[in-house]
Amino acid sequence: MNPGLVWAVLATGIGATLIIDLWAVLLKRTFGIMPTNWAIVGRWFAGIPLGRFKLRTDSCEYPIRFELQLGWIADYAVGIGYALVYMTIMNLASTPVSLATAMAFGLVTVLAPWLVLMPGLGKGWFAATAPRPALTRLLNLVVHLMFGAGLYVTWRIYAIVGI
What is the percentage of the chain residues whose pLDDT exceeds 70? 96
**45 and 78 in contact (C-beta within 8 Å)?**
no
Q: Is the pLDDT of residue 57 over 90?
A: no
* pLDDT classification of 82: cutoffs 50, 70, 90: very high
Residue 58 confidence (pLDDT): 52
* pLDDT classification of 137: cutoffs 50, 70, 90: very high
Residue 120 confidence (pLDDT): 92
Q: How many CA atoms lie within 13 A of 18 on its CB side?
A: 8
Instruction: Return all residues near 105 (Cβ < 8 A) that are at least 6 apart.
Output: 82, 85, 86, 89, 148, 151
What CA–CA distance (Å, rounded) separates 4 from 160?
Answer: 13
pLDDT tens digits, one per residue of 103-123? 999 999 999 999 999 999 989
**137 and 127 in contact (C-beta within 8 Å)?**
yes
Q: Is the pLDDT of residue 2 over 80?
A: no
Global confidence as pTM? 0.90
